[in-house]
Structure 1
Amino acid sequence: MNESSLLRVLDRFKGGFGKIGVDYPVMRRILQVKLTMDGRRVPTIIGKSRKKDGEDGGTEKNQFFGSLWLYLIFGAFSSMFVALGDNFIFQMSLVFGIFMFMIMTSLISDFSSVLLDIRDRNILSTKPVNRRTIAMAKMLHICFYMFFLTGAIAIVPLGVGLVRHGVGFFLLFAVELVLMDLLIVVITALIYLGVLKFFDGEKLKDFINYVQIGLTIAIALGYQLLIRLFDFVDMQQAAFQPKWWQFALPPLWFGAPFETMLHRDGNPLFLLLSLLALAVPVLAFLLYLKLMPSLEKNLQKLSDPGSRKKESAGKGLKAISRLLCSSPQEQVFFRFAWTMMGNEREFKLKVYPSIGFSLIFPFIFLFTNGTEGGISGLPGSKLYLFIYFCALLVPSVLLMLKYSGSYKAAWIYRVLPIGDRVPVYRGTLIAAVVRLILPLYAAEAVIFAILFGAGVVPDLIVAGLAILVYTVICFAYLSKALPFSERFETAQQSEGLRMIPLMLLLSAFALVHYVATMISFGTYVYAALLLAANWILWQKAFTAKLP
């Protein structure tokens, strides 16, 4: 078992751990095992498969460190806001908004297992190991990742701040990074504690999955809201518009102390926001310490299988499959894919955030590029074409259809009497469209019809037909494998790069639609062409030789 350099650093402080009642040798061994196990998990941000056994000479390498360079790049880009000027309330609020987005997203997607680890309770609590030792190992485990993650993101902005604004800026920035990390960990833990209080077993795990997805979407929306706090004059001058609800935005808390302490600005609003930046993380941490026994107690619910409804293919699902699928085999795989997409927790964690982003992106673009008259100025404009952005999820969904946490069960494909794989692919694709893509589009279309008026309904129908054509083209373009037959770790980065042409293709559909609206009856001609294309593609695109 390899030994992390972190452990050798901790060895220098083993006397201090002993003084506070921690059995250091035991804690060290626990932490060593945790870090070794973490080396076998691939961070979501890189999405690459780990090297096969033996490719790295038999050594175990923590994949987390292999992803830090990406965080370093994000941090380097954000450093330009630090160097922008001395409008600190704008610059640093934006920087902390970016940092909180990156760190909390990473914490949610990759390190929830650290916060919600029940192995300590199941394995170590039955051994002669005191609770303080277990708790210290868990805390150091969390701090280990937060330190390196924050360091990778912040090291370039810290350096730029030191050179551009001096030592005082650098020290204040460093202190606030610690407070920010403290707040992020505590907020995440307290949210999970709230969930654990009311749910158990499988329902709890599903709910945590949705909480992770919801937090990711909420952070993205919060980032957009942060941008709109300022009326831009130019990139070096932004007028801050104080509002009462700004007290609910943590990035603004961390931006205010730079104005208060470095510019000596006595604005009461900045003073209150600065006080929140210090007081809330500290008070939240004290509350977390008080509630930690309750959190540890409720974590045991994660091992409870709970009660889950049997999600069998009901009469309604069978009726839908008979209506949409042309053969019994297609119907079977339609129901199979429908059930897997509903039950596969890891699939939902990978796919549902893209659904959430696709839901909000059209509105972000719509109101960012909206008319001067606001919502009242939308009717009569062509901005409804932004609805095409909701189809950004299509390539991600189709790419993920071949992955599963239960990929080992794919041997069943080899024993089933499947002579032709076309029904397998078509049934699965229809299920993905009906369960994930069309409901999202229908919800968007209803909202757009309300915003733009009933006159855009024909255009919305045309956009829906275009998205169906786009879906089949995406399927034909992306590499194929039997549904849910591969593990998520084998997802290759090259597949992500192949999505770029598909995004350009989606823009091309929107452009053609725009041109069609400029021609008399052009929209209806375009609709007829799309209907024909759908009929041909859904019949012929699956007849090619497939793997």
Structure 2
Amino acid sequence: MGTIRWLRILDPLRGLFERFGVDYAMMCRILEIKLLMDGRRAPTIIQRSGKNADPDALTNQFIKSLWIYVLLSVVLLPIIVMKINLMFQMSLVFGILMFMVTTSMISDFSSVILDVRDRNILFSKPVRRQTINMAKILHVMIYLLLLTGALTLLPLLVGLFTHGPLFFLLFIVEIILMDLFIVALTAALYWLVLRFFDGEKLKDIINYVQIGLTIGMTVGYQFISRLFNLMDMNIAFAPKWWEIFIFPAWFASSFEWALSGSANTYIILFSVLSVVGPLAAIWMYSLLMPSFERNLQKLASHQARGRKSRTGWNDRLSKLFCRGNIERLFFRFSWDMMGRERDFKLKVYPQLGFSLIFPFVFMFNILHSNSGFAEMRSGRSFLFLYFCALMIPTVVQMLKYSGNSKGAWIYQTAPLTNSTPVYKGALKAMFARLFGPVFVFQAIVFLFIFGARIIPDLVVILLSVLLYTILSFMVFEKELPFSVPFQSMQSGNTLIFFGMMLLLGVLAGAHLGFTFLAYGKYLWMLVLLVLNLIAWKLAFRQVRSDRLQRL
């Protein structure tokens, strides 16, 4: 194993590490091994396509993916450049940064924080616990600094030329403090889960915590603009007590204090919290580290799942939605796989969360900008329910991936001459298990808000999403459900996803247009019903037994 030379930048801090009881040489060696092993894992944002890729070419995939984050950082430049209100500007900047960093950390770095190999391999060796813990902290921080460096490189340079050197230096300090805070906060939430649960249940809950963090950051971002009053382009900070829990405001307040000279009590308090908060959080993290490591061992435990009744929801729904026995069989199979595959849930369930909250987020924005609830209730804001279908293309594409793809041999051993029932069963199970609960919950809430008058519109939306689902299936490459490893995920479908988003907008626009006609929604409902019957027949003509032969 070659030495990772850039780790030598830690050499000036060797004395400080050793003062805390860390074996510096051993720590660097552990870091080298961790980084070497991580180089063989492709990050979520950029997956290497092809099943026969050269293993040597898989090194440093995260480093190679950083250009994507640099590209994403372009959205921050207009906010940095404008000179309206630094508190407003930097609250938006840190809100976006915290969202991007946290979601990337959840998708790619959870395996780093929740790594049990240290305890299994190193704890039995003559290595100090302080050395192992410091290597783990540095392991996470290296990734986060590289990630935030890519996300803030262009904003830092633009800020230097626009606002001067003080802004540049303050921005760097606040970014580092933000990273410390995110690491400590995420680890504290995981520790809380690890403290009270164990075994298989714990692994499921960690997935839900990761999803909850993603949704929470999305919802929290909506509150940032509520910190300000915007009238005639004059933006004023209107502090309230609850804003102490809006973390981006902490890191933005230092700019307002240092560069704009504002001495508001809340500005000073937030500025102090931007320093004290992250340092206190990382101190608490270091204190909880031994307990965290002990509880982390629960991830290595395996408990048998209780046997579930054969006459559950999946069995009843399969009889309701599916025709033949084979289609019912793969409906139940897909239903179970979507509930047990943790990698699948980790990649798909956040999309369900976004679909769950987006209609309400947009409706809340309309409510905030309009004169009142009564006006919104009498309008057509119920069409925001179409946003719940944004997850459909992603989930349809993800149906073919599995962490246990080697089990796809069952397709060869099963007496199948036609793969159509396999695809139909999987699609219907996806629609019933993943989209169904989201739509039912939102429909109930919308009925409560808008009244019984929207019942025909709900039927139209459901038919539109059914059509949208089968069209999504038709545009993506066909592979048997759960037969492809996640390592083979391809990243060349951006245009397809964009086109599907436009198609969803077309369906929503058509619905809106027909509402202006007498009995228009019922006419559009009939058209959608016919289109669904045609599409569900045509979609599977391109699927034949050749898919079974390819395995």
Could you say which TM-score interval applies, normalised by the shorter chain? over 0.9
Cα distance in 2 for partners of 1:418, 1:539 equals: 20
Give the letter for the 1:308 counterpart. Answer: R
- CA 1:46–1:312: 2 relative to 1, 3 Å: farther
1:34 paired with 2:34, answer yes
**Equivalences for residues 296-311 of structure 1 within 5 A:** 296-306=293-303, 308-311=305-308
CA deviations on 1:440-478 (whole Å, 9 max, x unpaired) are 112111111221121111111111111111111211222
- CA 1:293–1:71: 2 relative to 1, 3 Å: same
Aligned equivalent of 2:522, options 524, 534, 541: 524
Aligned equivalent of 1:294, options 291, 294, 316: 291
Aligned equivalent of 2:359, options 344, 356, 362: 362
Number of the residue aligned with 2:374: 376
**Equivalences for residues 252-331 of structure 1 within 5 A:** 252-306=249-303, 308-311=305-308, 313-331=310-328
- Displacement after TM superposition at 1:54 (Å): 3.2
Cα distance in 2 for partners of 1:539, 1:480 equals: 16
**Equivalences for residues 96-111 of structure 1 within 5 A:** 96-111=94-109
Number of the residue aligned with 2:413: 415
1:352 paired with 2:343, answer no
**Equivalences for residues 98-247 of structure 1 within 5 A:** 98-233=96-231, 237-247=234-244
Number of the residue aligned with 1:404: 402
**Equivalences for residues 54-65 of structure 1 within 5 A:** 54=54, 58=56, 61-65=59-63
- Displacement after TM superposition at 1:288 (Å): 1.5
- Asked whether the equivalents of residues 313 and 335 of structure 1 are also in contact (C-alpha less than 8 Å), the reply is no
Give the letter for the 1:461 counterpart. Answer: V
Q: Secondary structure at 1:451's aligned position in 2? A: helix
- Asked whether the equivalents of residues 86 and 255 of structure 2 are also in contact (C-alpha less than 8 Å), the reply is yes
- Displacement after TM superposition at 1:369 (Å): 3.5
Give the letter for the 1:265 counterpart. Answer: S
- Asked whether the equivalents of residues 402 and 486 of structure 1 are also in contact (C-alpha less than 8 Å), the reply is yes
Number of the residue aligned with 2:245: 248
The answer for unaligned runs of 5 or more in structure 2 is none
- CA 1:302–1:234: 2 relative to 1, 3 Å: farther
- CA 1:37–1:523: 2 relative to 1, 3 Å: same
Number of the residue aligned with 1:7: 7
Cα distance in 1 for partners of 2:251, 2:39 equals: 33
- Asked whether the equivalents of residues 201 and 307 of structure 1 are also in contact (C-alpha less than 8 Å), the reply is no
Q: Secondary structure at 2:140's aligned position in 1? A: helix
- Asked whether the equivalents of residues 18 and 24 of structure 1 are also in contact (C-alpha less than 8 Å), the reply is yes
CA deviations on 1:87-116 (whole Å, 9 max, x unpaired) are 211111111111111111111111111111
CA deviations on 1:221-275 (whole Å, 9 max, x unpaired) are 111111232233466x422222221010110011111122222222111111112
The farther-off stretch of 301-310 and 453-462 is 301-310
| TM-score normalised by L of structure 2 | 0.94
| TM-score normalised by L of structure 1 | 0.95
Number of the residue aligned with 2:337: 340
Cα distance in 2 for partners of 1:466, 1:180 equals: 43
Cα distance in 2 for partners of 1:121, 1:282 equals: 26
Give the letter for the 2:306 counterpart. Answer: K
How many residues align? The count is 544
Cα distance in 1 for partners of 2:86, 2:177 equals: 18
CA deviations on 1:158-180 (whole Å, 9 max, x unpaired) are 22222222222222222111111
- Asked whether the equivalents of residues 27 and 131 of structure 2 are also in contact (C-alpha less than 8 Å), the reply is yes
CA deviations on 1:397-427 (whole Å, 9 max, x unpaired) are 1000000000111112111111110110111
Cα distance in 2 for partners of 1:375, 1:300 equals: 51
Q: Secondary structure at 1:128's aligned position in 2? A: coil
CA deviations on 1:173-195 (whole Å, 9 max, x unpaired) are 22111111111110001001100
- CA 1:50–1:126: 2 relative to 1, 3 Å: farther
Q: Secondary structure at 2:229's aligned position in 1? A: strand
- CA 1:495–1:86: 2 relative to 1, 3 Å: closer
**Equivalences for residues 445-460 of structure 1 within 5 A:** 445-460=443-458
Q: Sequence identity, in percent? A: 49
- CA 1:132–1:357: 2 relative to 1, 3 Å: same
- Displacement after TM superposition at 1:524 (Å): 1.0
- Displacement after TM superposition at 1:86 (Å): 5.5
Give the letter for the 1:339 counterpart. Answer: D
- Asked whether the equivalents of residues 51 and 488 of structure 2 are also in contact (C-alpha less than 8 Å), the reply is no
- Displacement after TM superposition at 1:12 (Å): 6.1
Give the letter for the 2:276 counterpart. Answer: A
Cα distance in 2 for partners of 1:311, 1:500 equals: 40
Give the letter for the 1:483 counterpart. Answer: P
> What CA RMSD, in Å, does the superposition of the two structures yield over aligned residues?
2.0
Number of the residue aligned with 2:510: 512
Cα distance in 2 for partners of 1:316, 1:79 equals: 50
Number of the residue aligned with 1:68: 66
- CA 1:459–1:403: 2 relative to 1, 3 Å: same
- Asked whether the equivalents of residues 196 and 204 of structure 1 are also in contact (C-alpha less than 8 Å), the reply is yes
- Asked whether the equivalents of residues 254 and 267 of structure 2 are also in contact (C-alpha less than 8 Å), the reply is yes
CA deviations on 1:488-536 (whole Å, 9 max, x unpaired) are 1212112343122211111111111112111111111111222223333
- Asked whether the equivalents of residues 87 and 255 of structure 2 are also in contact (C-alpha less than 8 Å), the reply is yes
Give the letter for the 1:201 counterpart. Answer: G
Give the letter for the 2:539 counterpart. Answer: A
Cα distance in 1 for partners of 2:279, 2:13 equals: 24
- Asked whether the equivalents of residues 42 and 49 of structure 1 are also in contact (C-alpha less than 8 Å), the reply is no
Cα distance in 2 for partners of 1:17, 1:534 equals: 65
Q: Secondary structure at 1:238's aligned position in 2? A: strand
- Asked whether the equivalents of residues 200 and 306 of structure 1 are also in contact (C-alpha less than 8 Å), the reply is no
- Asked whether the equivalents of residues 467 and 528 of structure 2 are also in contact (C-alpha less than 8 Å), the reply is yes
Cα distance in 2 for partners of 1:341, 1:501 equals: 26
- Displacement after TM superposition at 1:51 (Å): 8.1
Q: Secondary structure at 1:545's aligned position in 2? A: coil
- CA 1:139–1:428: 2 relative to 1, 3 Å: same
Cα distance in 1 for partners of 2:313, 2:362 equals: 37
- CA 1:147–1:230: 2 relative to 1, 3 Å: same
CA deviations on 1:45-86 (whole Å, 9 max, x unpaired) are 22444784438xx45521111121121122233132222115
- CA 1:246–1:315: 2 relative to 1, 3 Å: closer
Cα distance in 2 for partners of 1:281, 1:50 equals: 42
